[in-house]
Amino acid sequence: MPPWLAVQPELAHVGAADAQAGAARGAVGTGAIARWVTVGAVLLVAALLPQLVDHYFLRTAILLVYSAYLAQCWNIVGGYAGQFSFGHATFFGIGAYTTAILFIRWGISPWIGMWAGALLAAATGVFLGSLSFRYGLKGPYFSLATLAFAEIFRILALNWDAVGGPRGMLLPLRESFWNYQFPEESTYYYVILVMLIAVTALVAWLAHTRWGMYFQALREDEDAAEALGVDTTRHKLLAMALSSAAIALGGTFYLQHMFYIDPDLAFGIDVSVNALLPAIVGGPGTVWGPLVGALVLTPLGEFTRSALGGYGGVHLMLYGAVLITVILLLPGGLLSLPERWRERSRRGGPAARREGERGAA
């Protein structure tokens, strides 16, 4: 048999695979409709939730949406651009502190203050990022550097008397919509829900734009992306700016909801961990990962807290266990689970494996 003929079985196989993929693509059409129906249903339930549940449940829901929001912000630079920041507390804290200072000192509405905070956080993110990237800090070195930056900001806030030092800042109670202070818990819920929808839409849109593609390219192989002409530093900074600005708005929300901020709540390592955890558990670098992660972690945390009682933070014990399990068994996050299953069934269940053994024999 001439050698070129020997290739043919493989070609035939490729053809079959193509046909299969075509069929699958046809199925995606209905799949997409199903997905949008699901999204619509979830949105409807989310929008009506305050009418359906009691106060405790609503607070948990706020916690869940808020946690998904922080994770989605982290996801932009951590998940998509692959820069594992361990110091997003820096930008969160800048958002909260800027808003608080502007409001308490000059009575500037938090609705304006939050954008000032976001701008300042983005500038800080670009500054810290350009320092780090200029000196070629990659992977864990970047993570440790961001962690150190957050710690520097925490110590600065601790020592800055004008912002209360270790005592932090208490917002004066002046309830009005213009002051971002609401009598109803449900208003806070809607605010954070809208924020989550907006940032998720941003991420979903980004993923399909040139920017988003570049983010992913530099995450997968920075040198290759550079060789293909992607300005990797610029795109890393862009991801950093967007992510920092977005999470700063989350800092403002936290401040307005709690009426209080101090150096540990703003710049502590817990904030950074809370920002990355749901994204990692759900699936970093995916649109729905942070939401899935929050959907799993927040109820788990609430349940542990009510079951074990005791001291704040006990639920983190379980979060740690979940994180370890996910990293060991499902490094792509929970969202990679269906694909895992599909792959396993493709590579063969028990029957196919027996077939393979026979073939080998």
Partner 1 sequence: MSIVQFGQAVLDGLLVGGVYALVAAGLTMIFGVMRFINFAHGALLMVGMYTAYWAWTLAGISPYLSLPLTCAVLFVLGALIERALVHPLLDAPEHNQLLLTLGLMLLLENLALFLFSPDFRTVRIESLEGALAVGPFLLNRPRLIAFVGAILVSTALYLLLQRTEVGRRIRATAQDRDGAQLVGINVKRIYVITFGIGAACAGIAGALITPYFYTAPHVGHVFLLMAFVVVVLGGLGNFLGALVGGLMVGVAESVGALLLPGSLKGLIPFALFVLVLFYRPTGLFGGGSHVA
**What residues line the site for partner 1 (CB under 8 A)?**
84, 86, 131, 135-137, 139-141, 143-145, 147-149, 151-152, 155-156, 158-159, 165, 269, 273, 276, 280, 308, 310-311, 313-317, 319-324, 327-328, 331
The dihedral through the CA atoms of 252, 256, 262, 268 has a sign that is negative
Q: Does residue 203 contact residue 246 with C-beta atoms inside 8 Å?
A: no
Half-sphere exposure of 321 (CA within 13 A, CB side): 8
**Closer residue to partner 1, CB minimum distance, 103 or 149:** 149
**Closer residue to partner 1, CB minimum distance, 110 or 293:** 293
**Closer residue to partner 1, CB minimum distance, 197 or 318:** 318
The distance of closest approach from Cβ of residue 302 to partner 1 in the complex, given in angstroms and rounded to an integer, is: 15
**Closer residue to partner 1, CB minimum distance, 58 or 76:** 76
Of all helices (H) and strands (E), which one includes residue 126?
helix 110-134
**Closer residue to partner 1, CB minimum distance, 42 or 327:** 327
> Which two three-digit tokens encode residue 238?
């862009």
The distance of closest approach from Cβ of residue 314 to partner 1 in the complex, given in angstroms and rounded to an integer, is: 5
The distance of closest approach from Cβ of residue 296 to partner 1 in the complex, given in angstroms and rounded to an integer, is: 15
- Three-state DSSP string of 38-81: HHHHHHHHHHHHHHHCCHHHHHHHHHHHHHHHHHHHHHHHHHHC
The dihedral through the CA atoms of 229, 230, 232, 237 has a sign that is positive
Q: Which residue in 359, 151, 167 sits closest to 268, CA to CA? A: 151
Calpha distance 294→154 (Å, rounded): 26
Calpha distance 296→292 (Å, rounded): 6
| β-bridge partners, 261 | 169
The distance of closest approach from Cβ of residue 320 to partner 1 in the complex, given in angstroms and rounded to an integer, is: 3
**Closer residue to partner 1, CB minimum distance, 141 or 205:** 141
The distance of closest approach from Cβ of residue 85 to partner 1 in the complex, given in angstroms and rounded to an integer, is: 10
The distance of closest approach from Cβ of residue 31 to partner 1 in the complex, given in angstroms and rounded to an integer, is: 30
The distance of closest approach from Cβ of residue 323 to partner 1 in the complex, given in angstroms and rounded to an integer, is: 3
**Closer residue to partner 1, CB minimum distance, 195 or 217:** 217
